[in-house]
Structures are given as structure tokens and as C-alpha cells.
Amino acid sequence: MDDKKKSRFHFNLLFFALFGGMLSSCATTSSTQGTLPQGVPRDESASSRQVRAMNQRIATGFLAVKKDSVRDYRVGTDDLLEITVYEDEKLNRTLRVSSQGNITFPLLGILRVKDLTIVELEKEIRDLLAQKYLKDPHVNVFVKEYHSQRISVIGAVEKPNVYSVPGHKTILDLLVLAGGLKEEAGSLLFLIRPASGEKGPSRREEGSNGQEPRTFVIDLEELLVKGEMRLNLPLQNGDVVNVPVAGKIFVGGEVRNPGGFPLKGRRMTVSQAITLAGGIKTEAKGSETRIFRHSEKGTGKEILTVNIYDIEKGQGEDLSLKENDIIIVPKSGSKVFFSELWDFLKGRVGGFGLGSL
């Protein structure tokens, strides 16, 4: 066995020893329990070194996540709660949260518990009991069974998959499950939340009707290298975690060949990107073409509107694109930017998937 294989063997052995036991119950099958990517060559590029540093943080940072964060877990439907009132054991109950998010507790009747943290729920039960029934009661709530959530991880990760995971999970947890980043991974992560998600870390884009999916842009260098754990967002059922490859822009909507196109360090404009995508279709409304762009700080997004027809006539500014820009050309006669953006990010536009871009 040569030195490189020995090094990889020892690294994988260490990884499994640290995380194998903790993750074995999270993935749907044993095939989802991957190791972190192989070591990069000695003559690695700057981008390769960055990905390697981020993967090391994924491994070591996982241990740094406070496991008592289960106290911050928000109760969901179908969770099984074990509630103990130390002053009166007759009140002790094991209750399943209904599909409406409620439980029925002795003396108190129906309680709305969905989306409460464990601490908040304990306080609510304690306060209600103290109002009429018990003096200074002590209440403990334990989540006996977590309702499994299905979260997709796609793009430049070692083990892209749909993971069935119980309980409170974060972006970092899912990156560990997915085996870390591939060498070609970019510096951004898109957390795509379907319209059914009820809570999120930022407000909806102005002008939306509150029904569109939301996309949160995470700067992986800030999260994994600089340790900005505020970016380690909690995940919800149905979330899609997408890590696009580095150095690309994406074109979707009413173009002939939607997909991702490499920048390779060169300047690319909107018109050039549209040309690479085969041009716009006859049913396109090029005058309302939108550019989805992450903010400079990586914690928000902005939407720019350009007129393809004016650019072609030399009457409009042919904007320069930035890495990870997404261009969406809508259909004529409809304002469907957000739905087409969602289709694009989910990989349903033109039959291609972002995981292969």
C-alpha cells in the first residue's frame, strides 16, 4: 500500500470512528454513509486548498456543534413527546403531536405545540399548571420519537441523495451526511425551501405573494473557514441543499439549451450567456429577463431586470455577470419568474439537473 493510500485509509478510519455511530441512524440506507472526499494532490490549486480546508471544518466543526441544541428543536407534527410533571405523576403523559400540531393534556385541554421549542413548551405547561392547579410545578419534556424529515443534498458533494433524517438538523449536519464537498465545489451553497415551509431566517423577497419557495444563499467560506455559525441554518422537511460547482453562471427559462456555463476567469455578459444557452425561444419575454444574484456578504439576494431586445439593438446595458449568477427568461404574457426560478433550482428546466452542472 503506497503512502497516499495509507493516508487515505487512516483518514477514513478516523472519520468513521468519529461519526459512524452518530450518523448510522440518520441515513435511509448504508449507502448514504460516505466518507469525506479523497485528499487532493500535492500540487493543489488555491481552490482545491480552499475546498480541503472546508472539508476539514465539516469534519471537526461537526463535533463543535452543541448537541444540547436539541433543547432548541421545534416540535413538529407526529413527534412523540414524553411529558413529566414531578409534583403529580398522574399528569405524566406520552403524547403524539396531531397533524394539526396539537396535544391534549390533562387539566389543560388542547395545547398548540407545533413550532415551540422544548424550553418554550415546558414553560407554557408549567405556567398554565401554576395558574390554577399546582404551586411551582417542575415540568420536563422529552422528544421520544422525532418525525423524520426528507432533505435533498445535490450538486458538488460526494454523496448527493435524498436523506431521511430525524429531529433537529442543520446545513453542517447534512454536509457531513453527504460526505463533504467535491474538489470542484464553489464557494456558495443554496438552501432552497419549498413554499410549504413556515419559517425561515429571512423575509420573502419584496413583491412576492408569500407563496413562492425561498432561497437562502450561504457563503461556505464564511461558514466553514471563518466559523460564522449563524449561517449554519436549521433545516426543514422538503429543503434542498445545493452546492453548485465553482466558476459558473446558470441560464434557465425560455432558452433553447438551459444549463450552467463556465466563466473560467473571463468576462461574460448577459448577451453572451444567452448565446451560449442557444438564444431565447419565440415565446420568451426577453424584456423582463431577470438575474438572480447573491449579495456581496452572501447572506441575501438581489434581482436585476434586463431587456434582452434592447441589448441586441445596442440600446441597453449588457451587464457583466458574476459567479453563480442565475439568468431566468420568462414566458411571454405571464409573470412567473419565481416559479421558473424554483423549477431551475430544482433541476426541472429543460431536463437537466443542477447536480451535474
What does the pLDDT look like over 18-31, one tens digit per residue? 344 333 333 333 33
pTM, two decimals, is 0.55
Torsion, Cα 341 343 344 349, to 10 degrees, reads -130
Q: What distance separates the 2 farthest-apart alpha carbons in the chain?
A: 80
pLDDT of residue 247: 85
Phi first, then psi, for residue 46 (nearest 5°) are: -60, -40
- pLDDT tier, 345 (very low <50, low <70, confident <90, very high otherwise): low
DSSP state of 314: T
pLDDT of residue 237: 83
pLDDT at 64 over 90: no
Residue identified by cell 482545491 is: 48
Mean pLDDT of 279-284: 90
pLDDT at 120 over 90: yes
pLDDT of residue 349: 40
Rounded Cα–Cα distance for residues 341 and 335 (Å): 12
355 or 181, which is more confident: 181
- CB crowding 63-89: b at 16 or more within 10 Å, else e: eeeeeeeeeebbbbeebebebebeeee
Rounded Cα–Cα distance for residues 211 and 209 (Å): 6
Average pLDDT score, the chain: 76
Rounded Cα–Cα distance for residues 97 and 91 (Å): 17
Asked whether 146 and 121 are in contact (CB, 8 A), the reply is: no
Phi first, then psi, for residue 259 (nearest 5°) are: 170, -165
For residue range 32-43, list pLDDT tens digits in order.
Answer: 333 344 433 444
Highest mean pLDDT among 107-111, 227-231, 242-246, 297-301: 107-111
pLDDT of residue 189: 86
pLDDT of residue 50: 77
The grid coordinates listed for 242 are 445545493
Question: Which CATH superfamily groups domain 74-145?
Answer: wza like domain (3.30.1950.10)
Rounded Cα–Cα distance for residues 159 and 336 (Å): 32
Q: Give the CA angle between residues 307, 250, 220 to the nearest 5°.
A: 125
pLDDT of residue 137: 94
pLDDT of residue 215: 72
Mean pLDDT of 3-14: 47
CATH of domain 3-70+149-243: 3.10.560.10
Q: Which own/partner pairs from 65-72 qualify as long-range (CB within 8 Å, at least 24 positions apart)?
A: 65/170, 65/172, 65/173, 65/229, 65/232, 69/168, 70/118, 70/143, 70/167, 70/168, 71/117, 71/118, 71/119, 72/117, 72/118, 72/119, 72/168
pLDDT of residue 183: 87
Asked whether 215 and 326 are in contact (CB, 8 A), the reply is: no
pLDDT of residue 166: 79
Mean pLDDT of 204-226: 66
Asked whether 111 and 124 are in contact (CB, 8 A), the reply is: yes
pLDDT at 200 over 50: no
310 or 201, which is more confident: 310
pLDDT of residue 315: 93
pLDDT of residue 336: 57
pLDDT at 216 over 70: yes
Burial (CB count <10 Å: 0-12, 13-18, 19+), residue 253: buried
163 or 297, which is more confident: 163
Torsion, Cα 245 156 183 233, to 10 degrees, reads 100
pLDDT of residue 9: 46
* Residues contacting residue 189 through CB under 8 Å, at least 6 positions apart: 171, 217, 218, 220, 223, 241, 242, 243
What residue ranges do the domains of the chain occupy? 3-70+149-243, 74-145, 248-356
Identify the CA nearest to 201 among candidates 169, 171, 234, 170.
234
- pLDDT tier, 338 (very low <50, low <70, confident <90, very high otherwise): low
pLDDT at 306 over 70: yes
What is the percentage of the chain residues whose pLDDT exceeds 70?
Answer: 69
Mean pLDDT of 297-322: 85
For residue range 220-271, list pLDDT tens digits in order.
Answer: 888 888 888 888 888 888 899 989 888 888 888 888 888 788 886 678 999 9
Check for a shared fold between 3-70+149-243 and 248-356.
yes
Give whole-number Cα distances, 204 to 94, 288, 337, in Å.
37, 20, 14
pLDDT of residue 81: 95
CATH of domain 248-356: 3.10.560.10
Point out the least confidently predicted range of 76-85, 105-114, 200-209, 299-308: 200-209
